[in-house]
Amino acid sequence: MASEAPTCDRCGSERAVIYQPHTGRRLCLKCFEEDIVERVRREIERWGMLRLGKTRLLLALSGGKDSLTLLYVMAQLHDVNRMAVLTVYEGAGGGYRLREIENLKRFAKSYGVDVEVVSFRDYIGAELAELVRAAREAKLGVKPCTICGTLRRRIINWYARLHGFEKVATAHNLDDEVQTLYMNILRGDLDGMLRLHPLAPTLSDKLVPRIKPLRKIYEWETAALAYLKGWRLPVEACPLITEEASLRAHIREVLYRLEWRQPGFLLRVLENFDREMLPLVKQLYGKPRLPLCEKCGEPTSYGRRVCRVCEIIDALREKLSRPLTLAEPRPQR
Ligand SMILES: [Zn+2]
Ligand SMILES: [Zn+2]
């Protein structure tokens, strides 16, 4: 029982503050932090995600618990002069994202890292709330999260390429990865599934390779770290999220039950995936390059002539008061 043995199982001296079900250990805060940092370092080195201390790294962050954890860990493992933070301001309505961004800026500044903010308006000329309204009027049948995700990914890659970053790191955690893995399996999307592998190739020279250093860290661990470190976190959620009963939400629920019954389940699933899928991932290296969009020249999916971003722009152009166009590349800093 945790209450009867308050000493850390790792260092044997400090008072334990956390129980880690997948290892069965009770840990003090210092050992818990070190455990996370070490596991991230191992994952980075195992797959050659980046050259620690050398690679020019862009951290694409929102400002939530996972974001702060990634920044905190990378500030210890990597050279802070070789990294910058980008956050995309969507403009979903309500002030919560602005508070989150201010919070992220303060946090990053304490590690000497700059935060660059690029908004949907900067890139496309309209905010997400306007795009969603126009999409409803035009009966486009795309969900707010789809528009948001498509544009956000585009802006992150565009910014990273423009400013010469070699890698983009996102703060996806273990729970995110296994949920996405199951979603791809249920949809029969083998390609999408293989893309989750850390050795999956980038299929275009115009795509900056993306890495997920936290992919073996549980979501509860980033939440616990944020709580124990006393990091301030905004509690509001995006006002545009309407359907909680999404496929992802159902999968998340099932996975939590499995994890609760067999601690370490998610970790084993992703470990198996990494090992068993390796031969298939290697076959991806022979695939042709992604086609480029006829309108904007950005990479798009196989079989497409016009990318999804241009498709959204074309569909909504007349529904919005301002003309929708893509931003011109800005000069290198
Ligand atoms: Zn300890
Ligand atoms: Zn395009």
Identify the DSSP state of 88.
Answer: E
For ligand 1, the distance from its centroid to the CA atom of residue 66, given in whole angstroms, is: 23
Whether the CB-CB separation of 58 and 163 falls below 8 Å is answered with yes
Q: Is residue 236 part of a domain?
A: yes
Q: Is residue 4 part of a domain?
A: no
Residues 256-266: tens digit of each pLDDT:
999 999 999 99
What distance in Å separates the CA atoms of residue 7 and residue 135, rounded to the nearest whole number?
Answer: 56
Nearest bound ligand to the CA of residue 292: 2
The closest of 167, 159, 158 to 55, measured between CA atoms, is: 167
Nearest bound ligand to the CA of residue 326: 2
What distance in Å separates the CA atoms of residue 99 and residue 88, rounded to the nearest whole number?
Answer: 13
Whether the CB-CB separation of 221 and 234 falls below 8 Å is answered with no
Q: Is residue 264 part of a domain?
A: yes
pLDDT of residue 238: 79
Nearest bound ligand to the CA of residue 10: 1
Whether the CB-CB separation of 40 and 77 falls below 8 Å is answered with yes
Contacts of 244 (CB under 8 A, 6+ apart): none
Nearest bound ligand to the CA of residue 325: 2
For ligand 2, the distance from its centroid to the CA atom of residue 299, given in whole angstroms, is: 8
Nearest bound ligand to the CA of residue 13: 1
Nearest bound ligand to the CA of residue 18: 1
Residue with tokens 């000329």: 125
Nearest bound ligand to the CA of residue 7: 1
Say yes or no to pLDDT of 186 above 80. Answer: yes
For ligand 1, the distance from its centroid to the CA atom of residue 272, given in whole angstroms, is: 30
For ligand 2, the distance from its centroid to the CA atom of residue 298, given in whole angstroms, is: 6
Q: Is residue 328 part of a domain?
A: no
Average pLDDT over residues 273-301: 93
Average pLDDT over residues 140-152: 90
Using a CB cutoff of 5 Å, list residues around ligand 2, an ion.
293, 295-296, 307, 310
Say yes or no to pLDDT of 243 above 70. Answer: no
Nearest bound ligand to the CA of residue 9: 1
Query: Which residue segment(s) compose the domain that 254 sits in?
Result: 18-319
Strand, helix or coil at 181?
helix
Q: What is the mean pLDDT of the chain?
A: 92
Q: Is residue 327 part of a domain?
A: no
In DSSP notation, 162-173 reads HTT-SEEEE---
Lowest mean pLDDT among 20-29, 45-54, 197-206, 315-324: 315-324
In DSSP notation, 192-231 reads HHHTTSTTPPP--TTSPPEE-TTTTS-HHHHHHHHHHHT-
For ligand 1, the distance from its centroid to the CA atom of residue 227, given in whole angstroms, is: 18
Q: Is residue 329 part of a domain?
A: no
Reported as a pLDDT band with limits 50, 70 and 90, residue 2 is: very low
Q: Is residue 333 part of a domain?
A: no
Torsion angle defined by CA atoms of residues 61, 77, 278 and 191, in that order, rounded to the nearest 10 degrees: 10
Q: Is residue 245 part of a domain?
A: yes
Residues 148-162: tens digit of each pLDDT:
999 999 999 999 999
For ligand 1, the distance from its centroid to the CA atom of residue 99, given in whole angstroms, is: 34
For ligand 1, the distance from its centroid to the CA atom of residue 19, given in whole angstroms, is: 12
Tokens of 116: 């660059």
Residues 73-107: tens digit of each pLDDT:
999 999 999 999 999 999 988 788 899 999 999 99
Strand, helix or coil at 139?
coil
Question: In this structure, what CATH number is given to the domain that contains residue 285?
Answer: 3.40.50.620
Identify the DSSP state of 57.
Answer: E
The closest of 167, 174, 179 to 214, measured between CA atoms, is: 174
pLDDT of residue 223: 97
Domain count of the chain? Answer: 1
For ligand 2, the distance from its centroid to the CA atom of residue 146, given in whole angstroms, is: 16
Alpha carbon distances (Å) from 129 to 67, 122, 185, 307: 24, 14, 32, 21
Exposure string over 298-332, b if 16+ CB within 10 A, otherwise e: bbbeeebeebbbbbbbebbeebbeeebebeeeeee
Beta strands 18-20 and 25-27: pairing type? antiparallel
For ligand 1, the distance from its centroid to the CA atom of residue 225, given in whole angstroms, is: 14
Say yes or no to pLDDT of 300 above 90. Answer: yes
